[in-house]
Structure 1
Amino acid sequence: MAPSRLRSSSTVRSGSCSCDASRCEGAEVNASDVHAGFYPERDATPESVWDRAWSAGEFWIRQLFRRRVPQAAPFAHAVARCTANVDAANLDAQIPGLRFRLRRTPRSGALLAECFGLYCAALRGSGSATSTPSPEVLGAARILMQGGVAEIAGMSERRCALALAAAAMALRGTPVHLLSSSEARARGLSEVMREPMAALGIGVGVVTQGMDARARGAAYANLVVCGALREIGIDYLRDRMSLGGRPRRVLGRLDRLSGDTAADRHVLSGMHCALVDDADRLMLDDSRVPLAISTETDQSGERLLYEQALELARVLRETVDFTIGVERTELTPECSRRLAQLTQALGGVWAARERREELIALALDALHVAQRDRDYRVIQGRVQFPPEPAGTAEEPSVERLLLQKLVEVKEGCRLSGRRVVLAQISVPRVLGRYLHLAGVCGDARGLEREFWRSYRLHTAQAAPYPPPVPWTARLFAGAKARQEALIECVRSGDRRAIVIGLRSPAEAHALLEAFAQSAIQAGVASGAGSAAEQQAVAGLDTPGAVLVSIYPAERNVLHARASAIPVSLLVAELHDGERHVAHIARAYGATACEVLLSLEDEDVKKFLGPRAVAAAGRAMGSSAEAPPGVALRCARRALTSAARAAAAARRDALMAERSLDDLLAFSGQRE
């Protein structure tokens, strides 16, 4: 057989034993096994050259013959018959027998239809308006049970498919993790399925940031757990650290006999099943940013150094020892000799003349130049300087970092020091540890090879694709002209609500300042999920409302918006492809979309290339804006190049990780 998601050369790690992955799928996990150190997960072994070649052939066969869901209508009729035969008043009595039959034949289509029928009956009993899922939704849920990526457009349809698959897995006794792109969507998903799941005797928990250990353990005690991918991934990383890497059954039993239960050291019961919402975003777009646990370094010695610098600076006299200039503070020769005498007994850094005088000059700036609430703010015990203006270097200079630390010591705040990474793991590696992995997304066209290469998951179309988002483009010579065009679009928006899509906080800060100078009120959505952001998004129902959305804030939109007020989307920065623009437009329910780019943007120049930039400049002539045809061609080329570059970066990261696995294989541990 060809290697697949459920049938491969990989093994399942369960303590110190190994077994075939397909044999462990769907097995019930007892609480005693969990507390004894049972922590099942997939241990993927490197593929041979022949396995990779066979896998490539299987991918193309699936693409040619299994792109659509087969026999959706007959399966939907079978589910409808099972739903009609269910005794809604006595659901609990039907579950034990079904679970027994599922253990004997876990891949039976008839039993799967019975599982879906039970959930539909519970859904009907809860008074839901969608008690009868469509054949497309049932087909998508069937793909999830088989281990693949189902393409289905509607947000409510995707949630229903995830709930059906989670119910079927939970009825087998398999713990399920429902992974969302944000905490807001995880909470929304749990609210949708909590009542019907409770009717089936299945608990639903939610894991959010900031939960204490007790609440987090109570959430993971449920069979179905909803949460953001990064939150559950970090918990898995903590478990691996607390268990000392690879969990072992024998050590777990010895700890239990000695009174040290394994439950006190880990919160997850293992990596059984993961169903991923917005699979294209979580499994591909977010794969380049690893999950990491870090801690702050010991800063006692560093703080002592800055305290000494401030004490020395306080005894110096202006005009006699130093002068404050427009650009920098200068020390007099007399001050240099005086500092050499004062620091003679300190040693260390103070013995170097240039380093000593540079530190004292910055300490004088912190005492006499930097003023609170004008140059910086103190919020919740932290010193915050305004962001660097757009177009400057991304990393702050060493002088700016030293000045901030001196100001933090002056204000009695905690130092914003360096953080040390204790453990780190990539998103593909975390998801690859699950025994069963599947996901849903709206449209995976063009991403099929990435899903197969990274996760060995095939994609299948369960419903018609969403209609394409039409968009136009405008290209400007400079950022100032684009900013003026945005202000003009907002003023001429009449009764439309306007969403401005940005990527960088610095660009958003500059745009909000320009709006303030033009007396334009705008809400901000930065992805924090706060009550203020939710209120700003809800304000789009008001004519003339303006919202600045910083990527990926659109992930916190819980429902596809459908308002009587038309919404226009203005994308004012280059995103990673047209797919991202379509995500933003559909999240906010935009009826019109326009991409505004500037030739001064580094990303635009990079992805257009020097020849295209020069040609666009010649087409502009003396004007500040390119003709519409030229702007549309340049925008399409830039978005296409950005999407290809992002895909290449993900592929390179995956290849680098696999190469590292091969190098570390000699040590016998690829962690």
Structure 2
Amino acid sequence: MSDIRTIVAGRGLAVGDGPYVERAELPFSRFEEILRGWLARLPTSDRRRSLGFLRHAASHEERLRSIDEASLPGELRRVVSGMRALGFDDVALAEAFAVVREASRRVLGMRHHDVQMLASRTLLNGRIAEMATGEGKTLAATLAVCTAAASGAAVHVVTVNDYLAERDAEVNTPLYQFFGLSVGIVLEDMALDERRRQYACDVVYVSNKELTFDYLKDRIALGGRLDAHEKLRRLHSPSSPSPAVLRGLHVAIVDEADSVLIDEARTPLIISETLPDDLDPAVYDQAIALARVLEETRHYVVTKDRDAWLTPAGLEAVAGAAKELGGIWNATLWQRELAQKALSAVHLFRRDEHYIVADNKVQIVDEFTGRAMPDRTWERGLHQMIEAKEGTEITGQRRTLSQITYQRFFGKYLLLAGMTGTAKEIEPELKRVYDLSVVRIPTNKPCRRIRLPDRVFATGQERWDEVVRRACEVAGDGRSVLVGTRSVDASETLARLLEQKGVPHAVLNARQDQAEAETVAEAGKPGRITVATNMAGRGTDIKLIDEVEAKGGLHVILTEFHESARVDRQLFGRAARQGDPGTVEAIVCIQDELFRRYARHASAAFVRLPERFSRLRPKLFRMLVWYAQWRAESYNRKIRLDTIARDRKWLHALGFVGASHK
């Protein structure tokens, strides 16, 4: 462990609990974010250092090609031995990467490009590498993984789901094994002993959810189940079996870092137990029935934060209905609580958009990934209200056993780094919370993506009709088409329209996420139309056949702008990867949720623009989209700040009663 601290400290990085502990108490400053963003655009000397790094790596290539395979692992061990004293120094890194690149050429049949070398150097510098979609992040990471693991660190490669963890591990395992490194894969529903065995490996591929929950389980096992004497005995007796699953938080390389560290960091991860619900299930049904007859504006109002609040007239109406219901409804406090939760469930949370019903259970759908999250629930009775609304079994209330935020968990690593295609927009927040800078890595080949003009329609039906027409037109030319939707409901609406016209297509959403790999693999064929929610923008390649490439490549249609412009960029990034041709366009409706929620008045003004301003409409519309997404990002950023603040209060409360903070 001391060697690992030396290596990491050699880069001047935080050790121990990480930067989060020091910075969480300070509020974000909007001025500071603007200043940081401006400073990030200034030229630096890093470009010269990067060129020197690549030249130094290239200088070893001829020598390494003449070395037999049996000697290459020894070359890497020799180089990393010096890192234990100097840290991840550029000179040593260049030679280590050159060794790994040569081994990859021989073992995997893939030689790392120079831009991939720069990306892995960025990782071991403790930064975020922003690589354009399709530039080979999975292969690029192997340089950093091999080097860090060979130096003795426990390396966790963090992915967004089990499929990617398993796929990436299997592809790269021959390279790791060539250097004598063991590879572990942690998957959902894996038994405890098997998890412990996988985490004992040099390199572990695991999803962010599984990793964080395993840490929480370790904390419960070490902090709650064992008394002080037993903890000390196991700590000082190596022969004693440890209840812990993880063997240390040394190095984490986070794939799709913006999704994990920012988008999914809005809510803490909680381990809880189900308690018997003291409320009669009939109470939930009564509340839902009452909410359905209350009138908006007269009885309740909806805030911009998507909360429903009773008006004085609404309170009076609920009190009148409560007299007939009796029981818990006699309490004024419960009248308000139950009615407002029911109003939210009925009017603010929509099936096939915010959640789906599968196996007779309500499953939350993540807005940023489009994936179902069957193990997550809404708090304070909201989940039970939605279950009553959908007529599914009412689950019990839950009691928290342990919780942690991604901000605090990932701050505990000795070295934290990440890769993504979209991070520059959120660099100030990454720097403030995780002390992570973003380095934009150039593409290996010039980008040939063409963005066509945005088109906006007055109604949703007009938008869908045009999407169908456009998709059929492009597919009819022998190209492949990917249509991105924001919700499950939207994807199924579009699928029905295509079916009515007899157009062959494939649908990929939270209901079909198990078939993701197969669906995406087929998406690059001529005339293929694939309708997908956000999940198609992450982690999987659409490989074009030569015929499609010759006709102009993949065409991407965005049907609704997302709250985060990064999600739009990810979707557009599916086209024109690795120097391929491709086109993208947005076909949207002015009544979409983004505009209704974050730019209601501005979008209404846009609709009323006089005809004489028609030439300015495209630019004004782009300004409208920017404004709405800026407001949405600001709101989501506030939620993340509130999550950090609540987490700190929760820790303080635990500390007050004597529980461990570690």
Common fold by TM > 0.5: yes
Please tell me whether the aligned partners of residues 150 and 440 of structure 1 are also in contact (alpha carbons under 8 angstroms): yes
Paired position in structure 2 for 1:269: 247
Aligned to 1:573: 560
- The 1:351/1:283 distance shift into structure 2, 3 A limit, reads closer
Q: Does 1:278 align with 2:256?
A: yes
| 1:374-393 matches, cutoff 5 A | 380=359
**Deviations 1:354-405 (Å, cap 9, x if unpaired)?**
x9xxxxxxxxxxxxxxxxxxxxx99646599xxxxxxxxxx9xx99977965
- For residues 514 and 545 of structure 2, the distance between their equivalents in structure 1, rounded to whole angstroms, comes to 21
The answer to whether the 8 Å contact 2:594/2:629 transfers is no
Residue among 234, 243, 246 paired with 2:222: 243
Aligned residue number for residue 311 of structure 2: none
User: 5+ residue gaps in structure 1?
Assistant: 1-13, 28-38, 310-326, 328-346, 356-376, 385-394
Q: Any idea what SS the aligned residue of 2:537 has?
A: helix
Q: Helix, strand or coil: the match of 1:594?
A: strand
Alignment of 1:505-524 (within 5 A): 505-524=488-507
- The answer for the alignment partner of 2:590 in structure 1 is 599
SS of equivalent to 2:416: strand
SS at match of 2:591: coil
- Alignment of 1:614 onto 2:605: yes
Residue matched to 1:497: 480
Distance of aligned partners of 1:251 and 1:647 in 2 relative to their CA distance in 1, 3 Å threshold? farther
Report the TM-score when normalising by structure 1.
0.70
1:586 positional shift: 2.3
What residue is the counterpart of 1:636 in the other structure? Answer: 622
1:150 is aligned to 2:129: yes
Q: Deviations over 1:6-30 (max 9, x none)?
A: xxxxxxxx9xxxx999547389xxx
Whether the aligned pair in 2 keeps the contact of 1:561 and 1:588 (CA below 8 Å) is no
Equivalent residue for 2:410, pick from 420, 431, 442:
431
CA distance in 2, matches of 1:117, 1:233: 33
Preserved CA contact (<8 Å) 2:272 2:401:
yes
The correspondence for 2:517, drawn from 509, 529, 534, is 534
1:26–1:173 contact (8 Å) kept in structure 2: no
TM-score when scaled to structure 2? 0.71
The equivalences for 1:29-428 within 5 A come to 41-42=17-18, 44-47=20-23, 60=39, 63-66=42-45, 68=47, 69=50, 71-80=52-61, 83-84=64-65, 86-91=67-72, 93=74, 97-126=78-107, 128-131=108-111, 133-153=112-132, 155-244=134-223, 252-255=231-234, 261=240, 263-264=242-243, 266-299=244-277, 302=280, 380=359, 415-428=394-407
Q: What percentage of aligned pairs have identical amino acids?
A: 23
Aligned-pair CA distance for 1:225: 0.9
How far the C-alpha of 1:305 sits from its partner, in A, is: 9.4
Structure 1 residue 279, shift from structure 2 partner: 2.5
Q: Structure 2: 5+ residue runs without aligned partners?
A: 287-292, 294-325, 335-355, 364-377
Corresponding residue number in structure 1 for 2:459: 478
- Give the drift of 1:237: 2.3
In the TM superposition, what is the alpha-carbon distance from 1:551 to its structure 2 partner?
A: 1.5
1:180-212 CA deviation, whole Å, 9 max, x = no partner? 233333233213321111011101222222322
Tell me how far apart the structure 2 counterparts of residues 430 and 223 of structure 1 sit (CA, whole Å): 20
State the Cα distance separating 1:594 from its structure 2 match. 2.0
- State the shift of 1:179 in Å: 1.5
Partner SS state of residue 130, structure 1:
coil
Instruction: Measure the CA separation in 2 of the matches of 1:632 and 1:102.
Output: 54
Shift of 1:249: 10
- Which residue identity does 2:569 align to in structure 1? A
| Letter paired with 1:498 | V
Q: Distance in 2 between matches of 1:378 and 1:561?
A: 35
Q: Does 1:564 align with 2:555?
A: no
2:439 equivalent to 1:452: no
After superposition, the Cα gap between the structure-2 partners of 1:243 and 1:631, relative to the gap in structure 1 and judged at 3 Å, is: farther
**Could you tell me whether the CA contact under 8 Å between 2:267 and 2:640 is conserved in 1?**
no
Q: CA deviation at 1:597?
A: 1.9
- 238-247 vs 186-195, greater mean Cα deviation: 238-247
* Whole-Å separation in 2 of the counterparts to 1:243 and 1:563: 56
Q: 1:497 to 1:460 in 2, by over 3 A?
A: closer
Pair 225,561 (structure 1): closer, same or farther in 2 beyond 3 Å: farther
Structure 1 527/564 Cα, relative in aligned 2: closer, same or farther at 3 Å? farther
Q: CA deviation at 1:654?
A: 4.9
Distance 1:273 1:302 in 2: 49
- Pair 1:555 & 2:542 matched: no
What SS is found at the alignment partner of 2:409?
helix
**In 1, Cα distance between equivalents of 2:556 and 2:522:** 15
- Alpha-carbon deviation of 1:94? 5.1
Structure showing greater radius of gyration is 1
Moved more, 154-163 or 92-101: 92-101
Kindly report the root-mean-square deviation, in angstroms, between the aligned alpha carbons of the 2 structures. 4.8
Query: Residues 496, 660 of structure 1: CA spacing in aligned structure 2 closer, same or farther, 3 A cutoff?
Result: same
How much has 1:576 moved relative to structure 2?
Answer: 3.1
SS at match of 2:223: coil
Change in 2 beyond 3 A, CA 1:521/1:156: same
Q: Residue 234 of structure 2: SS of its match in structure 1?
A: helix
Match of 1:322 in 2: none
Aligned length: 563
Instruction: Give the counterpart letter for 1:426 in structure 2.
Output: T
SS of residue paired to 1:544: coil
C-alpha distance in 1, partners of 2:278/2:240? 36
Per-residue CA shift, 1:514-540, capped at 9, x if unaligned? 444444443221257745333332332
Change (3 A) 1:549 1:420: farther
**Distance between the aligned counterparts of 2:68 and 2:283, measured in 1?**
74
| Separation in 1, partners of 2:70, 2:601 | 70
CA contact (8 A) 1:276 1:439 kept: yes
